[in-house]
């Protein structure tokens, strides 16, 4: 396996046009007054976008046509075009490929989890924060293609708007519903595009017309472990759920599976996550892809259990979704069960993630965006 260089700074390719969703409330009002319109028009526009998930200015019929045209030209440029959507899991999972203004491709995945005893229905969108990814994890499809560029705030936010709209329109089996959860588990490393991701979180959480008014707890930022950015995220005071892609409890193996580990070691990443938990009062998730004969040995389960037992952490095991060209496979079910048993024996809480979207290459780590 060859180590690919880690890329933290995306190349500057065609900057996306400024959009309403890039701006906070004050900046929107300023932009609208600069156009010679009264500031309340900014809020009207935002109510359409964040409150009714309307992205198309032509459909904003509560605005006079001339005002609409002026606002649309300045604040609602077309950010993306849907290339195609594919469905699986009896229509409860839907993956969409988007083409951005400069031709860059990203994917997002919308999933419905029906209500079960003790839990309400959830509709989750898995979004991308970058086109491609520079983190080079060898088992991840996105990681193989390298980084194309950072997405703008609006390019990230608009994936959520489109998903909320699709859910409300009833495109998923089960009829119209309300988008409840957002996970940054699509393409890209969210904490390598920090300022746009932080601005996105504000748009997701702030109540309408500032943003969508989603609950903080229903938003998960997943990271390879960019330690300084985890600290910044805690400073932000947004209290979203943090997920850390650990995949190995020991530095020797993690250096290979998550190459950023050569920069920030397991102990540093866990210390940053502990600090996040202490400051936000939120339990964090440890993601662990189960890769046959690579990271699934009983002794690694014991080591992981010992590391996590004293911490405010929950383990999410992900059966590896093999990517094209990879020689790796998911762990056999008995090996997975033994891994779970050993973690639980140490008092660590564990869940095994379902493999939603597998047949449409829409499962974790399969997003590769080919036109
Ligand atoms: N860059 C972020 C988001 C990545 S996707 C991060 O690394 O956390 C979300 C999760 O899917 C990560 O834990 C990632 O390691 C995992 N993943 C990537 N490829 C996978 C694959 N082929 N099978 C299972 N999980 C995978």
Q: Looking at 55, 75, 95, which one is the last position of a domain?
A: 75
Q: Looking at 11, 40, 75, which one is the last position of a domain?
A: 75
Whether the CB-CB separation of 209 and 47 falls below 8 Å is answered with: yes
254 within a domain of the structure (yes/no): yes
Same-domain check for residues 35 and 128: no
Structure tokens given for 121: 């229905």
The CATH number of whichever domain residue 239 belongs to comes to: 3.20.20.70
Specify burial of residue 228 (Cβ count, 10 A radius: 0-12, 13-18, 19+). exposed
Residue nearest to atom 6 of ligand 1 (CA): 223
Number of separate domains in the chain? 2
CA of 178 to the centre of ligand 1 (A): 26
Other C-beta atoms closer than 10 Å to the C-beta of 368 total: 18
Q: CA of 110: how far to CAs of 94, 175, 214, 271, in Å?
A: 5, 14, 16, 32
Place of tokens 């065609």: 14
pLDDT number for residue 15: 72
Percent of the chain with pLDDT over 90: 83
87 a catalytic residue? no
Same-domain check for residues 115 and 196: yes
Same-domain check for residues 223 and 147: yes
12 within a domain of the structure (yes/no): no
Same-domain check for residues 311 and 341: yes
Same-domain check for residues 45 and 143: no
216 within a domain of the structure (yes/no): yes
Same-domain check for residues 143 and 196: yes
364 a catalytic residue? yes
CA of 143 to the centre of ligand 1 (A): 9
φ, ψ at 47 (rounded to 5°): -65, -35
Ligand 1 neighbour 223 (Cβ under 6 A): yes
pLDDT number for residue 12: 47
99 within a domain of the structure (yes/no): yes
φ, ψ at 209 (rounded to 5°): -90, 5
pLDDT digits (tens, 9 = 90+) for 295-321: 999 999 999 999 999 999 999 999 999
pLDDT digits (tens, 9 = 90+) for 113-164: 988 888 899 999 999 999 999 999 999 999 988 999 999 999 999 999 999 9
Specify burial of residue 8 (Cβ count, 10 A radius: 0-12, 13-18, 19+). middle
pTM for this predicted structure: 0.94
pLDDT number for residue 365: 65
Same-domain check for residues 115 and 210: yes
CA of 80 to the centre of ligand 1 (A): 24
Ligand 1 neighbour 139 (Cβ under 6 A): yes
**Closest to 15 measured CA to CA, from 101, 134, 120, 128:** 101
Residue nearest to atom 8 of ligand 1 (CA): 223
34 contact partners, CB below 8 Å, separation of at least 6: none
Q: What is the residue range of 219's domain?
A: 81-360
Spatial separation of the C-alpha atoms in residues 29 and 207, rounded to whole Å: 17
36 within a domain of the structure (yes/no): yes
Same-domain check for residues 278 and 181: yes
Same-domain check for residues 167 and 31: no
Specify burial of residue 43 (Cβ count, 10 A radius: 0-12, 13-18, 19+). middle
pLDDT number for residue 11: 45
15 within a domain of the structure (yes/no): no
Specify burial of residue 346 (Cβ count, 10 A radius: 0-12, 13-18, 19+). middle
Same-domain check for residues 199 and 282: yes
Other C-beta atoms closer than 10 Å to the C-beta of 263 total: 14
Ligand 1 neighbour 240 (Cβ under 6 A): no
Please compute the mean of the pLDDT values over residues 340-352 and round it to a whole number.
97
Ligand 1 neighbour 253 (Cβ under 6 A): no
For a pocket test of ligand 1, which of 131, 364, 367 has the largest count of ligand atoms closer than 8 A to its C-beta?
Answer: 364
**Closest to 123 measured CA to CA, from 69, 85, 172:** 172
Q: How confident is the model at residue 361 (pLDDT cuts 50, 70, 90)?
A: confident
367 within a domain of the structure (yes/no): no
Please compute the mean of the pLDDT values over residues 70-87 and round it to a whole number.
92
Same-domain check for residues 66 and 93: no
Q: CA of 218: how far to CAs of 126, 146, 251, in Å?
A: 12, 29, 31
Same-domain check for residues 85 and 56: no
Residue nearest to atom 3 of ligand 1 (CA): 185
pLDDT reading at 293 higher than 70: yes
319 within a domain of the structure (yes/no): yes
The CATH number of whichever domain residue 34 belongs to comes to: 1.10.150
pLDDT digits (tens, 9 = 90+) for 234-279: 999 999 999 999 999 999 999 999 999 999 999 999 999 999 999 9
pLDDT number for residue 2: 44
pLDDT number for residue 6: 54
pLDDT number for residue 116: 87
Tell me, rounded to whole angstroms, the distance of Cα 27 from its chain centroid: 26
Average pLDDT, rounded, for the chain? 92
């Amino acid at each position: 396996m060859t180590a690919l260089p880690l890329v933290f700074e995306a190349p500057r390719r065609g900057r996306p046009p400024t959009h309403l969703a890039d701006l906070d409330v004050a900046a929107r009002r300023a932009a609208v007054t600069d156009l010679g319109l009264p500031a309340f028009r900014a809020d009207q526009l935002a109510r359409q976008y964040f409150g009714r998930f309307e992205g198309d200015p032509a459909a904003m019929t509560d605005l006079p046509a001339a005002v609409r045209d002026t606002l649309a030209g300045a604040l609602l440029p077309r950010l993306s075009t849907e290339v195609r959507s594919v469905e699986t899991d009896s229509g409860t999972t839907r993956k969409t490929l988007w083409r951005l203004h400069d031709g860059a491709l990203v994917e997002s995945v919308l999933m419905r989890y029906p209500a079960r005893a003790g839990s309400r229905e959830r509709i989750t969108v898995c979004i991308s924060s970058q086109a491609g990814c520079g983190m080079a994890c060898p088992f991840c499809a996105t990681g193989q293609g390298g980084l194309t560029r950072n997405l703008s705030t609006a390019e990230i936010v608009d994936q959520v708007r489109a998903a909320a709209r699709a859910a409300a329109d009833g495109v998923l089996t089960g009829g119209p519903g309300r988008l409840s959860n957002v996970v940054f588990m699509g393409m890209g490393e969210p904490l390598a595009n920090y300022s746009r991701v932080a601005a996105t979180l504000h748009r997701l959480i702030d109540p309408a017309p500032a943003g969508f008014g989603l609950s903080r707890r229903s938003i998960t930022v997943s990271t390879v472990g960019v330690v300084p950015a985890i600290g910044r995220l805690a400073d932000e005071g947004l209290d979203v759920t943090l997920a850390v892609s650990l995949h190995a409890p020991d530095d020797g193996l993690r250096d290979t599976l998550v190459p950023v580990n050569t920069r920030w070691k397991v102990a540093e990443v866990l210390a940053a996550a502990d600090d996040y938990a202490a400051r936000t009062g939120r339990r964090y998730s440890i993601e662990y892809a189960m890769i046959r004969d690579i990271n699934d040995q009983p002794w690694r389960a014991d080591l992981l259990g010992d590391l996590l037992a004293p911490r405010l952490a929950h383990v999410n095991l992900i059966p590896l979704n093999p990517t094209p060209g990879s020689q790796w496979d998911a762990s056999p079910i008995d090996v997975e069960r033994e891994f779970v048993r050993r973690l639980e024996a140490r008092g660590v809480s564990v869940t095994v993630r379902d493999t939603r979207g597998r047949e449409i290459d829409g499962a974790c780590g399969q997003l590769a965006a080919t036109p």
